[in-house]
Structure 1
Amino acid sequence: MTRLSTHDAIIIGAGPAGTSVALTLARRGWAVAIVEKSVFPRRKVCGEYISASNLALLDQLEIGDAWRANAGPEIRRVGLFSGETCAEAPMPPARDGPPAEDGPPAKDGPPAKDGRRAKKDGFGRALGRDVFDCLLLQAARSAGVEIFQPCRAVAIDPDGEAQLVRIQAGNETTMLRAPVIVAAHGSWEPGPLPSQLGKTNRPSDLFGFKAHFTGSSLAPDLMPLLIFPGGYGGMVSADHGRLSISCCIRRDMLAQLRKHPGHQSHLSAAEAVSRHLMESCRGVRDALESADVDGPWLAAGPIRPGIRSGYERDIFRVGNAAGESHPLIAEGISMALQSGWLLACELSCAPDGRAGREMAGRRYEAAWKSLFSTRVYAAAALAGIAVSPGSATWMAAIVRNFPQALTLGAQLSGKTKPVPGFV
């Protein structure tokens, strides 16, 4: 017999975007369910850096103190490693603001715990997704969110004024019913849901790779951008002495590296990327010379940056499902957390019914574009330059002569832009 569970909102995906929505709604009196296909803790292809502008939001979600206790050192400098170039400049601090205003009214429940003065955190830090996602999900569980994990959402169907989400865990099927459905499942994995993206193969596709290292000699307060033939990446000191290194590389360049003369025919994609990074960036070689890899390399993709619909077919989208910037600017987690918060704010004050959802969807899409579109377009322009043949040389020359360009780039990426509702 199939079990039926009814809620006000169903969130598909328990990453930062999904849990940000769930926590905010649950603390405003909503009955919320999260469906997550993976067992936690889990590692993710992610740069793991969180800008300081998010920390008032983390306090609002009531995980700020836990985040501060676990995250790596403050990142006070931004750098560039490309070829023999190793340049650096100050990281711009986050803007200080007055106390947050009260958020939108709760739905049939107590008011949001807004209005607290955020702790002053001028600089961002990095925390592994295997730790960060668990902190968020535990907070959601404590707030009363019902967690279905590991479960996979396999269908979404209309059911009057609500929708039915069919989820599976092994051979067991459960039906969840709610008027509000939020897709927070990312954009990299195709699937049967109407909110999931189809995939095509193009030579210019970007694939993401990520690994942790211990024993690195990278300065703990430095986050360098890596520019190398066919791709880009970044390094940052994260929690528990781990160095997080992540990068994107074009499909055609990856194929070329795996066939490179002198390389063994069975060279894996991760091995090819690791060698390419070491050979292309002196700063990477120096930082990892005495380091040990902590766990296997991860891979994901293809990564398709761009702005997508935030509300379509009566499904809301947050995180990468709504849109994503090139990872070059290290704003993925920030955009995920903030998009979830934006959506929850609009849903909280929208009237019930389809007309109310459509209004919330329009307002959310406008708020999303206002907050994120500039950094998406700026990241696309920079990434296009970074992966063009020969561009690494002149980019390195510009930064060597004008290192303040790195500080300006960090500002353009949104690292100092306050989250709406916390200014």
Structure 2
Amino acid sequence: MTRLSTHDAIVIGAGPAGTSVALTLARRGWAVAIVEKSVFPRRKVCGEYISASNLALLDQLEIGEAWRANAGPEIRRVGLFSGETCAEAPMPPAKDGPPAKEGPPAKDGPRAKKDGFGRALGRDIFDCLLLQAARSAGVEIFQPCRAVAIDPDGEAQLVRIQAGNETTMVRAPVIVAAHGSWEPGSLPSQLGKTNRPSDLFGFKAHVTGSSLAPDLMPLLVFPGGYGGMVSADHGRLSISCCIRRDMLARLRKHPRQQSHLSAAEAVSRHLMESCRGVRDALASADADGPWLAAGPIRPGIRSCYERDIFRVGNAAGESHPVIAEGISMALQSGWLLACELSCAPSGRAGRELAGRRYEAAWKSLFSTRVYAAAALAGVAVSPGSATLMAAIVRNFPQALTLGAQLSGKTKLVPGFV
């Protein structure tokens, strides 16, 4: 017998975007369900850095103190590792906003009242903090369950979810797609599959024992791709990158063996051979788990509300990861949508109004960084342009600080200014 449960909103995906909207709506009196296909904790292909401009939002979501207690060191410098070039410049602090919550005095004196710089926390920890907060707020969690169909049902919609051989139907007037953009599927909010030589695939690993300065986050530029490194929690260094499909295929053809290299082996070797800064930082490091892979990534701006489904996070639109703003955009898009939904009239007309207002707010907050990231990524993967970029940064390192500002790292979330 198929089970049926009814809610005010159903969120598909329990990443930062999905839990942000679910938490906010639940704390405003909505009956919310989250459908998540994976078992937590789980690691994700993600740079894991969170800009300081998000910390007032994390406090609003009531995980700010837990995030501060677990996250890695403050990132006060931004850098560039490309070939033999190793350059750095100051990271711009977040603009003045509400003070951070007070905490116990630190060893070197009273804790600062404002979080001026971002930090990194592994998704295996961060996503669990968010989901536990959602559960505590009364959100019903269906996990591990996969949403396989969405069908109209009068003024609401039915979502069919499966866990093994068991099927459950969940019904709500508001459906939020927070499932990301990397995996194609049968849902109307999911993107179709394509296969282009220029597609970018994402890779990520954790290592321990790195010699990278703990307050430095360098951009890595190498033939066919780009990436980043950042000191995260518990002594882990998070290293992530994107590489073109055609370059990856070429790298996997090992010149001295009949068999091909694995994708992870090819990417790891390419990074070490292409960037002196990476070689130096990882010379004595040890792997903390296997490399992860995902993709292809789908940068660009998509419809935020279509066919009665709202999109948040990467489903709504994503920037190239070159600017390290993925988690920020996910959290903030969930917040923006929840604010619009919670004050909109009921019924389809109210949802359409919320959809138009949310899309306008999304574009106002994110479109500049999406376009800036696309331009920077285009430079990074073009050999001639990447060489010119390295030369410019060597002579004018302050360009790195300007780039961090353009990426949105100092821009506060609406409602917290």
Q: Is the 8 A contact 2:254 2:260 kept in 1?
A: no
Q: Is the 8 A contact 2:208 2:235 kept in 1?
A: yes
- How far apart in 1 are the matches of 2:222 and 2:22? 39
1:244/1:110 CA distance change after superposition, 3 Å: closer
Residue 113 (structure 1) shift: 31
1:119/1:263 CA distance change after superposition, 3 Å: farther
- How far apart in 1 are the matches of 2:276 and 2:252? 21
Q: Is the 8 A contact 1:208 1:299 kept in 2?
A: yes
Residue 261 (structure 1) shift: 2.1
1:117/1:291 CA distance change after superposition, 3 Å: closer
Residue 176 (structure 1) shift: 0.3
For normalisation by structure 1, the TM-score amounts to 0.94
- How far apart in 2 are the matches of 1:117 and 1:108? 7
- How far apart in 2 are the matches of 1:232 and 1:217? 20
For normalisation by structure 2, the TM-score amounts to 0.96
Q: Is the 8 A contact 2:180 2:315 kept in 1?
A: yes
Residue 394 (structure 1) shift: 1.3
Residue 110 (structure 1) shift: 30
Q: Secondary structure at the match of 1:30?
A: coil
The match for 1:227 among 216, 221, 229 is 221
Q: Secondary structure at the match of 1:103?
A: coil
Q: Secondary structure at the match of 1:243?
A: strand
- How far apart in 2 are the matches of 1:353 and 1:108? 42
**4+ runs deviating over 4 angstroms:** 102-119
1:236/1:324 CA distance change after superposition, 3 Å: same
Residue 395 (structure 1) shift: 1.0
1:42/1:419 CA distance change after superposition, 3 Å: same
- How far apart in 1 are the matches of 2:348 and 2:104? 24
1:275/1:172 CA distance change after superposition, 3 Å: same
Residue 17 (structure 1) shift: 0.0
- How far apart in 1 are the matches of 2:300 and 2:98? 29
Number of matched pairs: 417
1:262/1:277 CA distance change after superposition, 3 Å: same
Residue 111 (structure 1) shift: 32
Residue 392 (structure 1) shift: 2.2
1:221/1:41 CA distance change after superposition, 3 Å: same
1:103/1:28 CA distance change after superposition, 3 Å: farther
User: Who is 1:253 aligned against?
Assistant: 247
Residue 265 (structure 1) shift: 2.2
Post-superposition Cα deviations, 1:94-147, rounded to whole Å, max 9, x if no partner, equal 01xxxxxx9999999999999999951000000000000000000000000000
Q: Is the 8 A contact 2:100 2:115 kept in 1?
A: no
Residue 195 (structure 1) shift: 0.3
Residue 393 (structure 1) shift: 1.6
- How far apart in 2 are the matches of 1:415 and 1:269? 32
Residue 259 (structure 1) shift: 1.5
Structure 2 unpaired stretches of 5+: none
1:117/1:15 CA distance change after superposition, 3 Å: farther
1:344/1:278 CA distance change after superposition, 3 Å: same
- How far apart in 1 are the matches of 2:253 and 2:153? 53
Q: Is the 8 A contact 1:28 1:112 kept in 2?
A: no
Q: Is the 8 A contact 1:167 1:175 kept in 2?
A: yes
Q: Does 1:53 align with 2:53?
A: yes
Q: Is the 8 A contact 1:223 1:235 kept in 2?
A: yes
Residue 391 (structure 1) shift: 2.4
Post-superposition Cα deviations, 1:203-243, rounded to whole Å, max 9, x if no partner, equal 00000000000000000000000000000000000000000
Q: Is the 8 A contact 2:73 2:119 kept in 1?
A: yes
Q: Is the 8 A contact 2:320 2:370 kept in 1?
A: yes
- How far apart in 2 are the matches of 1:116 and 1:182? 42
Q: Is the 8 A contact 2:36 2:145 kept in 1?
A: yes
Structure 1 unpaired stretches of 5+: 96-101
Q: Is the 8 A contact 1:104 1:349 kept in 2?
A: no
Residue 389 (structure 1) shift: 2.4
Residue 199 (structure 1) shift: 1.0
